[in-house]
């Protein structure tokens, strides 16, 4: 090749000399010699490149070398037209062509091909060079290592953890395919802009990945070489006798990266149990601040802290515990998956309790306060005002008889404060108070109740009743209705023991307090009934709750407040059950009156949407299915799709749609839609699709054993039975039976409904109607 290139050069120079006038170039032999030497050198370089087969890899042309890894060389390459895209190509190093290394590199290719995740750099192509060296192509990432990207972008702690948790998701995706990275470090987590412009991490270079699938004979070979970067290697990878690595080794490396990301200080490697444990991130920050205050202050500012000490305070506690668990010396003491590590980090972001350590009650309360600052601040302020006003009332009541008027005035002011507190606590619902938060709210209410009980004998009866109504309403919101009923009944008994009031104002206050207590009592009985009966439709109410609402309305009429907020709520409840107030009033007239009243309410007021939902439900199926979805859409926009009222309405719509389809199969009558077989299949499929999404949302808000969650699963199982037959639906019903039995008992109402739905799957809709 070199000789050929040389011949071409000399032939061209002679042709120039014959076909033109002599030039200085023709006469300059030294210049000609230099050109000839350059051509010879270029020819030799091309010969060498072609000889080793590295100028081309399949349909890619190598144009530049990016660097070297433990086993491979990384090159920039361009794909042949029409794609013409730039990619990164990794090729096995020359000289590392042993059978074991070739096997390992081939394993890397297959490992990457099995992973599909947005936070893992995917494999685009693979092959063998002309000289027999494996190669594979990956996207060319325009980004920086995670530590550099976060530092340059001055990411706060929360932003760093958000990006890092996404990287953990990528590692988890590899682990799910049986792939262990074994060389995780900041340089192997590249942060690039996502399609939305947000930072997105990409885990790269599974160059020393090892499959842990025991069924793959190629992966059983014991690797006696230490593979990885020492600063990030787990202790078990340092073993001189039998170095090993599994998914928990990657968790260790992630823990080291996390510590470095949070504090700017890399923990020291720990090869043996006798080595001192690495410093916690908060301690590392304090020590670094002593050694180099200026540098550590700069790092703290970049992480959203005002000083090194402020950064150390934020790291102390949960984040220290998360890093400590991830980097525990013994693998069994670490997070057992990258997913578990990411979950704890996301709990920290959400100010929820983490699993790395058990938080005390005060810390859990503090976490709840961080999540709901406005609610807690307002509640505490209102409670303080109630306490201050009540104390003032008690002091005034203990003075001479002539101060009685002032005491009554203080009691009235106390009622006004209670009204403000009611407005605050009205927003408490299972969406806010779910899981551990719900238990904390119950504990907070219990504590408030205990303090009230200690002063019950001396407390002004009207103020005591108002406070009882507010706390009772809160108990209903967090689904402890029995306690609300008990509290309200005690407060009503206290009012009954009062002598006849001496002033008209006090008489009105007592009537208002009585009305609010009875309203809460009726709502508590309704909630208790709904928790006991029927998964998706409103439970049949007993006479007791209706009597409570009627007693409330009589009290509001006595107080001259027929349109009090609680009075409107009672009227909506009665109207929804096709009852009226006062007796003899036309039902439609009451509905029109309530429609005018609720229309004036704020869109965030639950009572407004409860009325609209119930008004739609009172229609026949055709009208209901036309009116309900638009109301649900408006309520969702006003309250959020995870609001308990919206979740309940979503569950009811799934049920109404499915029930209408079943009814249409049984008989033809006015108000029932008529469906052909294709439409029925579409409804069953829609029930399955929407039901599964709803089940996930209900589980997140209420829990897997909540009646709405189980009821939604019942509709989905029934739809699967109608859609695909009993054999396909059998597994869904069996799993549902187990969960319903565990949550409510085998002979519960819901348990009997499951059996009825199963009969429908077996014998058709005519056997499956249970409502």
User: Per the structure block, which two tokens stand in for 398?
Assistant: 């203990």
Quote the CA–CA distance of 470 and 520 in Å, as a whole number: 9
Q: Which of 183, 205, 429, 509 is the catalytic position? A: 183
Q: What distance, in Å, lies between the first and last C-alpha atoms of the chain?
A: 89
Element (H, E) at 598: helix 587-599
d(CA 428, CA 475): 9
Give yes or no: 183 in active site: yes
The label of the residue with tokens 């490396």 reads: 253
> What is the distance between the alpha carbons of residues 356 and 319, in angstroms, rounded to a whole number?
9
Q: Which H or E element spans position 119?
A: none
Q: Reduced to 3 states, what is the DSSP secondary structure of residue 88? A: strand
| SS3 state of residue 62 | strand
Written in H, E and C, the secondary structure of 293-344 is HHHHHHHHHHCCCCCHHHHHHHHCCHHHHHHHHHCCCCHHHCCCCHHHHHHH
The token pair at 66 is 């990016």
Written as six digits, the tokens of 484 are 């609300």
- Least Cα distance to 378 among 429, 423, 413 occurs for 423
How far apart CA 169 and CA 163 sit, in angstroms, is: 10
CB 467 within 8 A of CB 479: no
Torsion of CA 330, 331, 334, 339, to 10 degrees: 170
The region, left, alpha or beta by phi > 0 then psi within -120 to 50, assigned to residue 435 is: left
| Contact call for residues 186 and 257 (beta carbons, < 8 A) | yes
CA distance 679 to 297: 66
The DSSP code for 120 is: B
Query: How far is it, in rounded angstroms, from Cα 691 to Cα 679?
Result: 18
Q: Rounded to whole angstroms, what are the CA distances from 571 to 555, 580, 592?
A: 13, 7, 12
Residues involved in catalysis:
183
């Amino acid at each position: 090749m070199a000789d050929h290139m040389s011949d071409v050069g000399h032939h061209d120079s002679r042709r120039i000399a014959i076909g033109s006038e002599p030039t200085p170039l023709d006469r300059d032999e030294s210049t000609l010699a230099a050109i000839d030497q350059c051509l010879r050198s270029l020819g030799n370089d091309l010969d060498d490149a072609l000889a080793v087969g590295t100028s081309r890899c399949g349909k890619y042309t190598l144009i530049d070398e990016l660097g070297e890894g433990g086993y491979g060389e990384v090159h920039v390459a361009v794909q042949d037209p029409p794609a013409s895209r730039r990619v990164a190509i990794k090729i096995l190093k020359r000289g590392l062509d042993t059978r074991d290394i070739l096997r390992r590199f081939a394993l890397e290719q297959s490992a990457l091909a099995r992973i599909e995740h947005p936070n893992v750099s995917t494999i685009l192509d693979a092959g063998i060079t002309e000289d027999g060296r494996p190669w594979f192509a990956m996207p060319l990432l325009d980004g920086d290592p995670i530590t550099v990207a976060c530092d340059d972008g001055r990411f706060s702690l929360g932003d760093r953890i958000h990006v890092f948790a996404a990287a953990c998701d990528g590692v988890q995706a590899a682990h799910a395919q049986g792939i262990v990275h074994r060389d995780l470090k900041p340089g192997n987590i590249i942060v690039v802009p996502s399609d939305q412009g947000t930072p997105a991490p990409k885990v790269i270079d599974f160059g020393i990945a090892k499959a842990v699938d025991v069924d793959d004979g190629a992966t059983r070979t014991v690797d006696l070489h230490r593979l990885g970067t020492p600063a990030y290697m787990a202790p078990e990878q340092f073993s001189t006798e039998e170095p090993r690595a599994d998914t928990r080794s990657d968790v260790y490396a992630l823990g080291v990266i996390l510590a470095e990301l949070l504090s700017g200080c890399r923990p020291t490697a720990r090869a043996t149990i006798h080595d001192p444990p690495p410093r916690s991130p908060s301690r590392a920050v304090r020590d670094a601040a002593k050694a180099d205050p200026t540098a550590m202050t700069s790092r703290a500012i970049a992480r959203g802290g005002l000083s090194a000490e402020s950064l150390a305070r934020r790291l102390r506690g949960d984040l220290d515990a998360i890093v400590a668990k991830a980097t525990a010396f013994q693998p069994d003491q670490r997070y057992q998956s990258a997913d578990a590590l990411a979950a704890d980090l996301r709990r920290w972001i959400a100010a929820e309790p983490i699993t790395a350590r058990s938080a005390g009650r005060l810390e859990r309360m503090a976490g709840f306060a961080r999540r709901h600052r406005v609610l807690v601040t307002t509640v505490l302020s209102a409670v303080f005002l109630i306490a201050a006003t009540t104390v003032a009332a008690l002091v005034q009541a203990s003075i001479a008889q002539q101060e009685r008027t002032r005491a009554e005035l203080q009691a009235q002011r106390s009622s006004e404060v209670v009204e403000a507190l009611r407005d605050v606590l009205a927003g408490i619902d299972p969406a806010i108070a779910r899981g551990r938060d719900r238990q904390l709210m119950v504990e907070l209410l219990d504590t408030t109740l205990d303090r009230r009980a200690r002063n019950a004998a001396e407390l002004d009866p009207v103020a005591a009743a108002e406070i009882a109504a507010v706390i009772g309403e809160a108990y209903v919101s967090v689904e402890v209705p029995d306690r609300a009923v008990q509290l309200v009944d005690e407060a009503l008994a206290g009012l009954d023991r009062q002598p006849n009031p001496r002033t008209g104002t006090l008489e009105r206050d007592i009537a208002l307090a009585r009305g609010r207590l009875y309203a809460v009592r009726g709502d508590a009985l309704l909630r208790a009934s709904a928790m006991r009966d029927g998964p998706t439709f409103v439970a049949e109410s007993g006479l007791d709750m209706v009597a409570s609402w009627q007693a409330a309305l009589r009290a509001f009429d006595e107080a001259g407040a027929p349109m009090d907020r609680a009075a409107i709520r009672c009227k909506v409840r009665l109207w929804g059950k096709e009852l009226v107030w006062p007796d003899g009033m036309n039902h439609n007239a009451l509905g029109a009156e309530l429609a005018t009243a609720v229309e004036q309410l704020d869109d965030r007021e639950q009572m407004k949407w409860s009325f609209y939902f119930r008004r739609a439900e009172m229609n026949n199926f055709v009208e209901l299915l036309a009116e309900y979805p638009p109301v649900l859409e408006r309520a969702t926009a006003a309250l959020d799709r995870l609001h308990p009222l919206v979740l309940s309405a979503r569950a009811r719509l799934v049920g109404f749609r499915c029930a209408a389809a079943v009814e249409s199969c049984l008989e033809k009558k006015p108000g029932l839609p008529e469906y052909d077989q294709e439409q029925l299949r579409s409804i069953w499929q829609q029930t399955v699709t929407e039901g599964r999404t709803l089940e996930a949302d209900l589980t997140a808000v209420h829990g897997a054993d909540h009646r709405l969650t189980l009821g939604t699963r019942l509709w989905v199982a029934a739809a699967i039975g109608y859609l695909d037959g009993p054999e396909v639906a059998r597994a869904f019903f069996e799993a549902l039976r187990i969960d319903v039995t565990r949550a409510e008992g085998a002979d519960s109402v819901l348990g009997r409904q499951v059996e009825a739905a199963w009969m429908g799957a077996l014998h058709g809709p005519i056997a499956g109607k249970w409502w």
